[in-house]
Amino acid sequence: MSDKVVIFDTTLRDGEQSPGISLDPGEKLEIAEQLARLGVDYIEAGFPVSSQGEFDAVQAISRTVQGPVVAGLSRTQLADVDRCYEALRDAERNRIHIFISTSPSHMEHMLKMNEDQVLEAVRMGVARGREHTADIEFSPQDATRTPLDFMLEVLAAAVESGATTLNIPDTVGYGIPWDYGDLLTHVRDQVAGDYVLSTHCHNDLGLAVANSLSGVRAGARQVEVCVNGLGERAGNAALEEVVMALKIRGDQFPGLETNVRTKELARTSRMVARVTGYQVQWNKAVVGKNAFSHESGIHQHGVLKERSTYEIIDAASVGQEGGQIILGKHTGRHAFADTLQKLGIVVQGDALNSAFARFKELADRKVQLTDFDLEAIVAEELGTALEEGFVLDVLDVQGGTTGMPRARVVVSRDGHKSEATAEGDGMIDATCKAIKQATGIEAKLTDFNVSSVTGGIDALGDVVIQLESDGMRASGRGLSTDVVEAAARAYVAATNRVVRAKARIPGSGLDAVRLSEVIP
């Protein structure tokens, strides 16, 4: 077996299926370019047949991103396979990832197909894929709840039809490490052919990473992962955890390596968190804010003497650099741009002007700004520019211990301004109600989270708001030293995402399907 473990990143496909995440082509491309810098082997860019917007995103990544193989997801239907290839055809290297459900529950309730029909669909779909490209991955969806004999028959049919990678998805997170490992060993022993065995594990029981590593020990040489463990329900195996487990525990995985540049892990994690609106929990392994922090006096004493006493990972090796760049209100444009470039953020022209203006505005209120502040400011400004939707022009709030909190807002869109005033249970509630009136977008606030980007009394407030409208969820993020202003910015950003998502509903006229119904 190969000593190389292929990292197949599906953040842009399975990760985007997390409730409330809706990425436009520009945002997907931004993440894809960072994934290329990270050094993943495959980027699953999306599910092209699901909508025109999804097709456009996969096509843009195929035409732009260099290095990783670009993959697209497809059902076994021939039209799906052809559409997937159309989106991928301009990639430097491409892969079509074909799937169909094989568990009794899925075949009965979703597909309305019997075993013979599923086998025929596999043969036809995979063979059609091979007409387009030599790199075909096949997944029997809900594999861990599929009768073993039938799954082996399906996998053998896929290999005979031209599949070069066999992925064994634990679609509903049902697997247990030793059982999942045994399953992959059995597949490797029983299914003849020249193929790479792959894992795709969900985290419903909190075992996605453990199952993935068990699969690697059983002979899998591809692992499907998402940055920050994003994905349907409880998410997928976290890229950063799988990669560092293989690296740190080489004694358990002798000779196995990945191409991932681990120093890019923290930056990749932060970028994905900012763009998706899904914050990384503080105690998240490898990339969490507290991953290299110590509260206990005993731990602190040990770490001060020798960091390895309580840290098994060198923080610098995953991009958690200790020294932070400090900028203030006297910083000039050149130093600002140069600092961003050193952080791996390249912005020019109007985007730079917009980010610099926002930086100066916040620097006047905050004595010092760190590199984390800068990354957040640039992400917020670029995100606002990309949306081309409502812009918050004026926010005026009144509150205190007497009287009803009140907010007045003025928002603009395409040169037209709208003003509204509202009262609420607090200044943030009043502000959100006023913005809702001013924009005219009917949406229900389903989640509100506030935190600080950095420490100190003058820290930037970081607010993430999730809205629901007509069954769709969208998240928005806002930053300010004033938490009410941050909430207003977040609400406007979420509103713009709702508007953008609704605009994409008409689709392409193809056999569109909900992403959440087709995950392998």
| Sheet with 391-398, edge to edge strand ranges | 391-398, 406-413, 416-423
**CB-based contacts of 455: which residues, under 8 Å, 6+ apart?**
none
Q: Are 137 and 165 in contact (CB under 8 A)?
A: yes
- Tokens standing for 396? 């005026």
Q: Are 391 and 381 in contact (CB under 8 A)?
A: no
pLDDT of residue 329: 72
Alpha-carbon distances, residue 481 vs 274, 368, 455, 485 (angstroms): 18, 12, 12, 8
How far apart CA 116 and CA 212 sit, in angstroms, is 30
How far apart CA 443 and CA 464 sit, in angstroms, is 15
Residue with tokens 């930053």: 479
pLDDT of residue 104: 94
**CB-based contacts of 308: which residues, under 8 Å, 6+ apart?**
none
The candidate with the shortest Cα–Cα distance to 108, out of 78, 142, 77, 76, is 142
How far apart CA 120 and CA 141 sit, in angstroms, is 16
Rg of the chain over CA atoms, in angstroms?
24
How far apart CA 365 and CA 420 sit, in angstroms, is 27
How far apart CA 398 and CA 421 sit, in angstroms, is 11
The candidate with the shortest Cα–Cα distance to 436, out of 415, 416, 421, is 421
Task: Please classify residue 346 by burial: count the beta carbons closer than 10 Å to its beta carbon, then call 0-12 exposed, 13-18 middle and 19+ buried.
Answer: exposed
Alpha-carbon distances, residue 45 vs 50, 88, 409 (angstroms): 13, 9, 38
How far apart CA 46 and CA 87 sit, in angstroms, is 10
Tens-digit pLDDT profile for the chain (520 aa)? 679 999 999 999 999 999 888 898 999 999 999 999 999 999 999 999 999 999 999 999 999 999 999 999 999 999 999 999 999 999 999 999 999 999 999 999 999 999 999 999 999 999 999 999 999 999 999 999 999 999 999 999 999 999 999 999 999 999 999 999 999 999 999 999 999 999 999 999 999 999 999 999 999 999 999 999 999 999 999 999 999 999 999 999 999 999 999 999 999 999 999 899 898 888 898 988 777 765 444 544 455 566 677 677 787 888 875 334 456 676 777 778 877 877 677 778 888 888 888 788 777 765 556 566 677 677 766 655 444 589 999 999 999 888 899 999 999 998 899 999 999 999 999 999 999 999 999 999 988 988 877 666 667 788 989 888 887 778 788 888 899 999 999 999 889 888 877 776 554 333 333 333 333 3
